[in-house]
């Protein structure tokens, strides 16, 4: 689909110029909010009220970051978002690992050991990807209470695993469909069992889809707000909830530089993942939509 | 193998039985979890929506009374209308912007990778972060309005975020900023999948570039448009965090969406019955979009 514009000439050159101008303008639209956020987070408050949005920090300071991390008030407490940042990790890591492991086994069983009704099982699970979570919030709150997991990090891990399985199963199923069945049936004839085939044949080729699944789940769970705000307690909040509380805590002057530093802290892990593994990130995004 | 007893002829033994049932046993916990936490909870919420529950769930049934209250609730209508406006604009602008950027990027652009990375990165952020940033940019005293005024355009106004009639459009701006790069990526993948020879043939026929894109390329991208509309409408219906962070539903409740309406009533205003009814209507909305999608998806699987 490339090389449609090929003819050279003045008209074509002008066209080319306009093309780049449009693309760069678009890039500015996407990039500027992040740039402004970063610059603001390094400015002292006086420079923000006096200066312009786009002016570079005259007197760059790390104080807003330090305050956002360790002192800023998030609701009643004034301990910054640092603790909540680690909370997010404590929730995300087990939830990602467990849901990916379950998804891999499910995808394997659904594709290489088809049985009567396996398609129905898959359809049932697929539906779980799409429900608006508002429809499970109230029963979930009560169930977590019964399990003694209200306002706990383990409770949030459970919630994220439960609603992540649908996605991870979808990823692994679509990936394993493309692995030739002959490999598995040959191993079955040799008498290899369910787990042995998984361990020896499927798992070694699964690296790309494991990366996709981990990145997708990491981004989803890290960025979650709804479950976090509904099911966490004061000390078990994920960083997104703490950030929202910090920004909406109205004690005196709004410290926009601290707000922006806190937003950067909450954004950094997923941004880092995106920069380091963008290819897999895009693949995860498109996996559910463009069949593959 | 020299062993001639393939699994088919083997007598049923305990271990053979285990092997045959193992896949089902492995799936069983997940199926049980999904049945309970997804389908069971949906049913449970439906039951709650038929009760007069307020602070705590009670099972005192009032039929469809909560739905009637919802229909008579002005705030619910504001939220639903907002979703229509927000959803329609969000989906439409994302599609147009995504398609245009993808087509432009597909013209052998230098630094294409870098541009793509910039267009797509907002998708990695939390909607809370997006909301916090845009709240700051849209702040009339310190944000874009103040900046343009400082350039000498004293009468410039961009105070939508504090204007009850315009605040809903600030949600559109922030959401488009976050998701349009993703639509661009979808379209770009679609464009790269189109066979070059179709375009070459159209070029030989003397068709103009615009005409080729409109008449030849766009029809090929119909499945991409379809998927994008599904995903975007789904994001729109679920939008909750962005509203909370950007406008808090305000000014007043001018930017409430069904998702924030449900949360406020169920968790903050002790209206569990009413909140459940609104959640069920949200589910209905998702199903109305989803069923045609899944139907076509399954049909194309069978054919392809």
Cβ of residue B88 closer than 8 Å to a chain A Cβ = no
Of the pLDDT bands very low, low, confident and very high (cuts 50, 70, 90), residue B125 is very high
Which of A135, A140, A188 is nearest residue B283 as measured by Cβ atoms? A135
**B182 C-beta neighbours (distance < 10 Å), count:** 23
Write the residue in B42, B150, B217 that is nearest to A135 by C-beta.
B42
Is residue B81 a part of any domain in this protein?
yes
CA distances A261 to A33, A39, A62, B115, B259, Å, are 13, 9, 9, 25, 28
Residue B1 within any structural domain of the chain:
no
* pLDDT score, position B5: 45
Which of B41, B54, B150, B304 would you mutate first to test chain A, the one with the most A CBs within 10 A?
A: B41
Confidence of residue A287 (pLDDT cuts 50, 70, 90): low
Counting Cβ atoms within 10 Å, is residue A211 exposed (0-12), middle (13-18) or buried (19+)?
middle
pLDDT of B304: 40
Of A147, A172, A169, give the one whose Cα is nearest residue A159. A147
Q: How far apart are CA B126 and CA A226, in angstroms?
A: 11
As a whole number, the mean pLDDT across chain B is 85
The answer to whether B120 and B182 are in contact (CB under 8 A) is yes
**pLDDT band (50, 70, 90) for residue A122:** confident
Candidates A241, A175, A234; CA nearest to A203 is A175
C-alpha torsion sign, points B220, B225, B230, B231: positive
Query: Distance from A182 to chain B by nearest Cα, in Å?
Result: 15
- Calculate mean pLDDT across residues A31-57: 85
What is the enclosing helix (H) or strand (E) of A103?
A: helix A82-112
Helices marked H in A147-199: 153-176, 181-189, 194-197
State pLDDT tens for residues B233-287. Answer: 888 888 899 999 998 887 888 899 999 999 999 888 888 889 999 999 999 988 8
* pLDDT for residue B3 is more than 50: no
Q: Regarding predicted confidence, which is higher, A154 or B19?
A: A154
Helices A239-248 + B127-137 axis angle, to 10 = 20
Place of tokens 């076509």: B296
Q: Do A132 and B290 touch (CB under 8 A)?
A: no
What is the mean predicted confidence (pLDDT) over A202-222?
A: 90
Q: Which of residues 180-199 of B touch A (CB under 8 A)?
A: 181-182, 185-186, 189-192, 194, 196, 199
Percent of chain A having pLDDT more than 70?
Answer: 93
Which pair of tokens denotes residue A289?
Answer: 């939509």
Which of these, A121, A117, A13, A194, lies nearest to B31 by C-alpha position? A121
Q: Are residues B173 and B101 part of one domain?
A: yes
> With bands split at pLDDT 50, 70 and 90, how would you rate the model's confidence at B179?
very high
Q: Is-contact B83 B257, C-beta < 8 A?
A: yes
Does B35 contact A223 at a Cβ distance shorter than 8 Å? no
Domain ranges across chain A: 2-64, 82-286
How high is the pLDDT of residue A252?
63
C-beta separation of B255 from B168 below 8 A = yes
Q: Give the pLDDT score at A187.
A: 86
- pLDDT range class, residue B4, cuts 50, 70, 90: very low
Question: Smallest Cβ distance to A271: which of B22, B121, B230?
Answer: B121
Taking all residues of chain A, what is their mean pLDDT, rounded to a whole number? 86
Q: How many CB pairs under 8 A join A and B?
A: 277
**Which residues in chain A have Cβ-Cβ distances shorter than 8 Å to B127?**
223, 225
Mean pLDDT score, B163-183 = 92
Contacts of residue A158, defined as CB under 8 A and 6 or more positions apart, other chains included, come to: A144, A147, A149
Whether chain A has a CB inside 8 Å of the CB on B31: the answer is yes
Tens of pLDDT along A65-115? 988 898 888 777 888 888 899 999 999 999 999 999 999 999 999 998 888
Q: How confident is the model at residue B302 (pLDDT cuts 50, 70, 90)?
A: low
What is the pLDDT confidence band of residue B112, given thresholds at 50, 70 and 90? confident
Whether residue B280 lies within 8 A of chain A, CB to CB, comes out as yes
> What does the DSSP 8-state code read for residue A79?
S
Share of chain B above pLDDT 90, in %: 35
Average pLDDT over residues A167-178: 88
A106, B26: Cβ pair inside 8 Å? yes
Contact across the interface for A132 and B279, Cβ inside 8 Å: yes
Q: For residues B240 and A51, which has the higher predicted lDDT (pLDDT)? A: B240
Quote the tokens at residue B298: 């399954």
**Radius of gyration, alpha carbons of chain A:** 24
Higher pLDDT, B17 or B41: B41
Percent of chain A with pLDDT over 90: 41
pLDDT at res. A251: 65
Cβ–Cβ under 8 Å, residues B120 and A278: yes
Looking at this predicted complex, what is its ipTM?
Answer: 0.88
Residue in A with minimal Cα distance to B179: A30
Distance from CA of B138 to the nearest CA of A (A): 11
Residues B129 and B30 in one domain: no
Same structural domain, B125 and B250 = yes
Domain identity same for B28 and B163: no
B37 shares a domain with B90: no
Contacting residues for B121 by C-beta, under 8 A, at least 6 apart: A30, A34, A271, A274, A275, B181
Residue B11 confidence (pLDDT)? 56
| pLDDT reported for residue A291 | 39
Say whether both B32 and B85 belong to one domain.
Answer: no
Please, which pLDDT band fits residue B2 given cuts at 50, 70 and 90?
Answer: very low
Contact of B118 with chain A, judged by CB distance below 8 Å, is answered with yes
By residue count, chain B amounts to 304
Q: What is the pTM of this model?
A: 0.87
**Among B48, B147, B244, beta carbon nearest to A54:** B147
Contact B107 A109 (CB under 8 A): no
Please report the beta strands in chain B, taking only residues with DSSP state E, as ranges in sequence order.
none
How many Cβ atoms sit within 10 Å of the Cβ of residue B81? 12
Residues B136 and B204 in one domain: yes
pLDDT at A1: 47
Q: Is the pLDDT of residue A266 over 50?
A: yes
* CB contacts, 8 Å: A48 with chain B: 142
| Burial environment of residue B86 by CB neighbours within 10 A (0 to 12, 13 to 18, 19 or more) | buried
CA distance A289 to A167: 12
B87 vs A contacts (CB less than 8 Å)? none
Superfamily in which the A82-286 domain is placed by CATH: MetI-like (1.10.3720.10)
Share of chain B above pLDDT 70, in %: 94
| Confidence category of residue A292, pLDDT binned at 50, 70, 90 | very low
Q: Do the Cβ atoms of A135 and B280 come within 8 Å?
A: yes
pLDDT grade, residue A238 (50/70/90)?
Answer: very high
Q: What's residue B44's pLDDT?
A: 93
- Counted domains in chain B: 2
Q: Would you put residue B265 in left (φ > 0), alpha (ψ -120 to 50) or beta?
A: alpha
Q: Quick one: closest CA in A to B3, which residue?
A: A190
At B202 the pLDDT is: 81
Q: Are residues B102 and B181 in the same domain?
A: yes
A290, A225 Cβ separation under 8 angstroms: no
Contact list in B for residue A248 (CB cut-off 8 A) is 248
What is the average pLDDT across A151-168?
92
Same domain, B30 and B135: no
Q: Is B107 on the interface with A (CB under 8 A)?
A: yes
Residues B228 and B117 reside in one and the same domain = yes
Determine the structural domain holding residue B21 and report its residue range: 13-49
What residue has token string 């787990």? A195
For residue B288, the domain's CATH number is: 1.10.3720.10
Cβ atoms of A266 and A243 within 8 Å: the answer is: yes
**What pLDDT, on the 0 to 100 scale, is given for residue A290?**
40
The pLDDT value recorded for residue B12 is 60
Most confident of A42-56, A176-190, A270-284, B163-177: B163-177
């Amino acid at each position: 689909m490339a090389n449609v514009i090929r003819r050279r000439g003045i008209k074509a050159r002008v066209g080319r110029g306009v093309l780049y101008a449009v693309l760069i303008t678009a890039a500015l639209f996407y990039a500027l909010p992040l740039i402004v956020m970063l610059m603001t987070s390094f400015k002292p408050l006086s420079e923000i009220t006096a200066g312009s949005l786009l002016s570079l920090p005259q007197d760059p300071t790390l104080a807003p970051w330090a305050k956002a991390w360790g002192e800023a008030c998030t609701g009643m407490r004034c301990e910054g978002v640092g603790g909540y940042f680690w909370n997010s990790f404590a929730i995300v890591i087990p939830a990602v690992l467990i849901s990916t492991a379950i998804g891999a086994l499910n995808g394997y069983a659904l594709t290489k050991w088809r049985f009567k009704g396996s398609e129905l099982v898959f359809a049932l699970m697929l539906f779980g990807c799409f429900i608006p979570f508002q429809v499970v919030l109230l029963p979930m709150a009560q169930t977590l209470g019964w399990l003694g997991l209200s306002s706990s990090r383990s409770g949030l891990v459970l919630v994220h695993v439960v609603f992540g399985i649908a996605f991870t199963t979808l990823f692994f199923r679509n990936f394993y469909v493309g692995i030739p069945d002959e490999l598995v049936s040959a191993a079955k004839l040799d008498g290899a069992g369910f787990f042995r085939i998984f361990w020896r044949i499927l798992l070694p080729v699964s690296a790309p889809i494991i990366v996709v699944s981990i990145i997708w789940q990491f981004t989803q769970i890290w960025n979650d707000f709804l479950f976090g705000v509904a099911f966490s307690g004061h000390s078990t909040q994920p960083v997104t909830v703490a950030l929202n509380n910090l920004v909406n805590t109205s004690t005196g002057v709004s410290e926009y530089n601290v707000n922006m530093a806190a937003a950067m802290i909450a954004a950094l892990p997923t941004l880092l993942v995106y920069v380091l593994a963008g290819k897999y990130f895009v693949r995860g995004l498109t996996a559910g939509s463009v069949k593959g | 193998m020299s062993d001639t007893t393939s699994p088919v002829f083997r007598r049923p033994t305990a271990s053979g039985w285990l092997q045959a049932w193992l896949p089902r046993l492995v799936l069983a916990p997940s199926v049980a979890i999904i049945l309970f936490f997804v389908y069971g909870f949906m049913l449970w919420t439906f039951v709650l929506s038929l009760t007069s529950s307020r602070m705590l769930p009670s099972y005192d049934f009032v039929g469809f009374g909560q739905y009637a209250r919802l229909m008579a609730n002005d705030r619910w209508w504001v939220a639903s209308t907002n979703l229509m406006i927000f959803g329609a604009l969000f989906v439409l602008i994302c599609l147009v912007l995504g398609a245009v950027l993808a087509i432009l990027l597909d013209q052998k652009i230098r630094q294409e990778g870098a541009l793509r990375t910039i267009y797509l990165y907002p998708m990695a952020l939390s909607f809370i972060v997006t909301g916090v940033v845009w709240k700051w940019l849209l702040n009339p005293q310190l944000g874009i309005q103040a900046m343009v005024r400082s350039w000498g355009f004293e009468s410039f106004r961009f105070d939508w975020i504090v204007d009850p009639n315009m605040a809903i459009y600030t949600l559109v701006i922030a959401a488009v900023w976050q998701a349009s790069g993703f639509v661009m990526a979808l379209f770009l993948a679609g464009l790269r999948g189109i066979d070059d020879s179709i375009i070459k043939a159209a070029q030989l026929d003397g068709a103009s570039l615009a005409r080729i894109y409109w008449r030849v390329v766009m029809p090929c991208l119909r499945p991409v448009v379809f998927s994008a509309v599904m995903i975007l409408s789904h994001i729109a219906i679920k939008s909750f965090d962005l509203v909370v962070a950007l406008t808090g539903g305000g000014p007043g409740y001018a930017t409430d969406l069904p998702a924030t309406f449900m949360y406020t009533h169920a968790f903050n205003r002790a209206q569990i019955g009413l909140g459940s009814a609104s959640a069920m209507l949200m589910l209905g909305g998702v199903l109305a979009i989803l069923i045609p999608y899944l139907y076509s998806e399954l049909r194309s699987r069978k054919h392809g």
